[in-house]
Structure 1
Amino acid sequence: MHDTVIYPTDSGHQNRRGVAWIVLAFVVVVLLFSFRTLVSYYVENLWFGSLGYASVFWTSLRLEWTAFAVFAIATFAVLYGWCRILLHATERDVLAAGTLRFGDRIIHLPLERVLGWGALVLSALISLGAGGGMMSDWPKFALYLHRPSIAGEFADPILGRPLDFYLFTLPIWELLAGWLLTLAILMCIATAFSAVLSGGSRISIRGFDTTRHLPWSVFSIPVAFLLLVIAARVYIGRIELLITDHTVFSGVTYTDAHVFLTGQLLVCVLLIIGAAIALLNLVTRPGLRWIALAPVPAIVCYFIVQIVGWYVASFIVKPNQLAREQQYIAHNIDFTRRAYALDRVTEHEFPAETELAAAEPDKNQDTLRNVRLWDWRALQDTLRQIQEIRTYYDFPDVDIDRYTLDGQTRQVLLAARELNVDKLPESSRNWINEKLTYTHGYGITMNPVNGFTPEGMPTLLLSNMPVERTGSAPAVTRPEIYFGQLTDLDVYVKTHHKEFNFPQGQTDSFSSYEGTGGIEMGGLLRRLLIAFDRGDLTKVPFSDDIDAGSRLLMRRNIRQRVHAIAPFLTFEADPYITIGDDGRLRWIIDAFTSADTYPYATHYELRDTSINYLRNSVKVVIDAYNGETTFYVFDPTDPIIAAWRGIFPALFKEASAMPQDLRRHIRYPELQLKLQAEVYGLYHMTDPVVFYNREDLWTVASETGTNGNNEQASLPMEPNFVLMKLPGHSDLEFIDILPFTPANRNNLIGWIAGRGDGDHYGTALAYNFPKTRLVDGPLQIEARIDQNAQLSGQLTLWNQQGSHVRRGTLLVIPCGKALLYAEPIYLQAQRSPMPELRLVVLALQDKLAYGTTYEAALQSLFAGAASSMTAEAAQQPSAQNPSGAPQAAPDTNALIQAAARDLNDYQRLTAEGKLSDAGKKLEDLKQKLDTLNARQK
Structure 2
Amino acid sequence: MSGFPFQGFPEQPRPQKPSHPKKGMTPFRITILVLVILGAFIYVASDLWTQVLWFNQLEAQRVLWTKWLSILAIVAVATVVNATIVGLNMNWAHKKRPRSMLGGRSESLMQYQEKMTSLRRVIFWGVPLVIGLFTGLGLAADWRQIIMWMNRTPFGVTDPQFNTDVSFYVFTLPLLKMILSLFTTVFVVSLLASIVVHYLYGAIQVAPRFRVTRPARRQVGILAAILSLVVGLRYWIAPYRALVETTGSPSDGALYTQVNAYIPAQLILAVISVLVAILFVVAAFRGTWHLPVAGVAVTVVSALVLGMAYPALIQQFKVRPNERALQSPYIQRNIDATLAAYDLEDVEVQTYAARTDTATGQLRDDAASTQQIRLIDPDIISPTVRQLKQSRSYYTFEDQLNVDRYEIDGQKRDTVIAVREIDLEGLDNNEQNWVNRHTIFTHGYGVVAAYGNRVDSKGEPQWWEDGIPSTGDVGEYEQRVYFSPNSPEYSIVGAPEGSDPLELDYPDEQSGGQVPTTFDGDGGPSIGNFFNKLLFAIKFQSTNIFFASQINSESQILYDRDPALRVSKVAPYLTLDRRPYPAVVDVDGDPSTPKRLVWIVDAYTTSNHYPYAQHVNVSAATADASTQDSALYAAQPNINYMRNSVKAVVDAYDGSVSLYQWDEEDPILKSWMKTFPGQVKPLADISGDLMAHLRYPQDLFKVQRSLLAAYHVTEAGDFYTGGDRWRLSENPTSVRNVDGSTPVQPPYYLTMQMPGQESAEFSLTSVFVPGGRADREPMAGFLAVDSETGSEAGKVREGYGQLRLLALPSSTTVPGPGQVQNNFNANAEIARELNLMDQEGSEVILGNLLTLPVGGGLLYVQPVYLQGTGSTKYPVLRKVMTAFGDSVGFSETLEGALDMTFKGDSAAELAEGTGSTDGSGSGDGEDLDLSTQQKLTSALQGARDAIIAGEDAMKAGDWAEYGKQQQRLQNYLTQALRLQNELDTQTQLSPEELTVDAPEPTAAPTEPEGTAAK
How far apart are the structure 2 equivalents of 1:711 and 1:857?
A: 37
Which residue matches 2:96?
89
DSSP-derived class of the 2:406 partner: strand
Q: 1:328/1:906 Cα in 2 relative to 1: closer, same or farther (>3 Å)? A: farther
The aligned counterpart of 1:263 is 265
Kindly indicate whether residue 552 of structure 2 is the aligned counterpart of residue 513 of structure 1: no
1:32 deviates by: 6.7
Alpha-carbon shift at residue 904 of structure 1 (Å):
4.7
In structure 2, do the counterparts of structure 1 residues 507 and 296 end up closer, same or farther at CA, with 3 Å as the change threshold?
Answer: same
Contact 1:705 1:714 in 2 (8 A): no
Paired residue type of 1:800: Q
1:801 pairs, out of 799, 819, 840, with 840
Task: Confirm or deny that 1:181 pairs with 2:203.
Answer: no
How far is the alpha carbon of 1:787 from its aligned partner? 2.3
Unaligned residue ranges in structure 1 (runs of 5+)? 1-17, 19-24, 881-895, 909-918
1:111 Cα deviation from its structure 2 partner: 3.5
1:58 corresponds in structure 2 to: 65
Q: Give 1:449 shift.
A: 1.1
The answer as to whether partners of 1:367 and 1:725 remain within 8 angstroms in 2 is yes
Comparing 183-192 with 641-650, greater Cα deviation is found at: 183-192
Deviations along 1:581-609, whole A, 9 cap, x unmatched? 43321000111111111111121111262
Change (3 A) 1:82 1:750: same
Counterpart residue number, 2:887: 847
Gaps of 5+ in 2: 1-24, 26-31, 587-593, 621-636, 789-796, 908-913, 920-924, 931-938, 952-967, 983-1014
Within a 5 Å distance, the mapping from 1:507-546 to structure 2 comes to 507-536=513-542, 538-546=543-551
- Alpha-carbon distance, 1:804 to partner: 2.1
Name the amino acid aligned to 1:486. N
Kindly indicate whether the alpha-carbon contact (under 8 Å) linking 1:488 and 1:555 is maintained by their aligned counterparts in 2.
no
Separation of aligned partners in 2, 1:921 and 1:376:
35
Aligned twin of 1:817: 856
Partner of 1:914: none
TM-score by length of 2: 0.80
SS of alignment partner, residue 454 of structure 2: coil
Superposition map of 1:712-861 within 5 A? 715-743=743-771, 744=773, 745-757=776-788, 758-815=797-854, 817-831=856-870, 832-861=872-901
Q: Which amino acid aligns with 1:664?
A: A
Q: CA deviation at 1:31?
A: 7.6
SS in 2 for 1:159: coil
Q: Offset of 1:57 from its aligned partner? A: 2.5
Question: Partner letter of residue 608 of structure 2?
Answer: D
AA of the residue aligned to 1:751? F
Aligned to 1:601: 613
Q: Which residue of 2 aligns with 1:635?
A: 663
> Could you say if the C-alpha distance between residues 92 and 720 of structure 1 is closer, same or farther in structure 2, counting changes exceeding 3 Å?
farther
SS at match of 1:770: coil
For 2:740 and 2:353, the matched residues in 1 are separated by: 32
Contact 2:204 2:210 in 1 (8 A): no
Counterpart in 1 of 2:552? 547
Assess, with a 3 A threshold, how the Cα gap between structure 1 residues 508 and 147 changes in structure 2: closer, same or farther: same
Alignment RMSD: 3.8
TM-score by length of 1: 0.86
Going from structure 1 to structure 2, the CA distance change for 1:601 and 1:515 (only over 3 Å counts) comes to same
Q: After superposition, give the CA deviation of every residue in 1:744-768 in whole Å (9 maximum; x if it has no partner).
A: 3311111111222222223322111
The aligned counterpart of 2:6 is none
- Higher helix proportion, which one? 1
Q: 1:618 aligns with which of 603, 627, 646?
A: 646
User: Is contact 2:736–2:742 with CA below 8 Å preserved after alignment?
Assistant: no
Which one of 438, 441, 448 corresponds to residue 438 of structure 1?
441
Q: 2:571 aligns with which of 566, 572, 576?
A: 566
SS where residue 127 of structure 1 aligns? helix
Q: Who is 2:163 aligned against?
A: 160
Q: Does 1:73 align with 2:80?
A: yes
- Mapped partners of 1:870, 1:486: distance in 2: 32
CA distance in structure 1 between the aligned counterparts of 2:129 and 2:186, rounded to whole angstroms: 13
- SS of equivalent residue, structure 2 residue 904: coil
Change (3 A) 1:681 1:184: same
Measure the CA separation in 1 of the matches of 2:643 and 2:504. 42
Q: Residues 681, 52 of structure 1: CA spacing in aligned structure 2 closer, same or farther, 3 A cutoff?
A: same
Q: Quick check: 1:824–1:841 contact (8 Å CA) kept in 2?
A: yes
Contact kept in structure 2, 1:725 and 1:731, CA below 8 Å: yes
Q: Is 1:683 the equivalent of 2:711? A: yes
2:653 is paired with a residue whose SS is coil
Deviations 1:138-190 (A, max 9, x none): 1000000100133xx22111122110011101111111121111112211221
- The separation in 2 between residues aligned to 1:186 and 1:452, in whole angstroms, is 72
- The residue type equivalent to 1:323 in the other structure is A
Aligned to 1:322: 324
State the one-letter code of the partner of 2:890: Y
Contact kept in structure 2, 1:801 and 1:907, CA below 8 Å: no
What corresponds to 1:891 in structure 2? none
The equivalent of 1:673 in structure 2 is 701
Corresponding position of 1:293: 294
SS in 1 for 2:381: helix
**Does residue 45 of structure 1 match 2:77?**
no
Q: CA deviation at 1:734?
A: 1.1
Instruction: Please tell me whether the aligned partners of residues 95 and 111 of structure 1 are also in contact (alpha carbons under 8 angstroms).
Output: no
Amino acid in structure 2 at the alignment position of 1:383: V
Q: 1:420 aligns with which of 401, 423, 434?
A: 423
- Counterpart position of 2:339: 337
Q: How far 1:341 sits from its partner (Å)?
A: 1.3
CA pair 727-444 structure 1, distance change in 2 beyond 3 A = same
- Aligned residue for 1:501? 505
Amino acid at match of 1:580: V
2:477 is aligned with 1:477 = yes
| 615-624 or 58-67, larger mean C-alpha shift | 58-67
Mapped contact 2:478–2:597 kept (Cα < 8 A)? yes
Helix, strand or coil for the counterpart of 2:764?
strand
Q: What's 2:681 paired with?
A: 653
Residue 406 of structure 1 aligns with which residue?
A: 409
**Hey, what does 1:893 align to over in structure 2?**
none
1:135 aligns with 2:184: no
Q: 1:117 aligns with which of 106, 116, 122?
A: 122
Deviations for 1:611-655, whole angstroms, at most 9, x for unmatched residues? Answer: 111111111000000111001111122111111111111210112
Distance 1:801 1:709, change over 3 A: farther
Query: What letter is aligned with 1:419?
Result: I
- For 1:876 and 1:646, the matched residues in 2 are separated by 60
Distance of 2:99 and 2:734 partners within structure 1: 77
Per-residue CA shift, 1:336-374, capped at 9, x if unaligned? 111111113222232323355698634432321211111
> Which residues in structure 2 correspond to 1:270-289 (within 5 Å)?
270-285=272-287, 288-289=289-290
- CA 1:579–1:219 in 2, change beyond 3 Å: closer, same or farther? same
User: How far, CA to CA, are the matches of 1:26 and 1:879 in structure 2?
Assistant: 82
Native 8 Å contact 2:353 2:812 kept in 1: no
Q: How many residues align?
A: 874
> Which residue of structure 2 lines up, in the alignment, with residue 302 of structure 1?
303
Instruction: Report the residue type matching 1:375 in the other structure.
Output: D
Change in 2 beyond 3 A, CA 1:851/1:130: same
Residues 40-77 of structure 1: CA distance to partner in whole angstroms, max 9, x if unpaired? Answer: 34332322222222333333333232222222222221
**In the alignment, structure 1 residue 927 sits paired with structure 2 residue 931:** no
Shift of 1:728: 2.5
Q: 1:87 to 1:294 in 2, by over 3 A?
A: farther
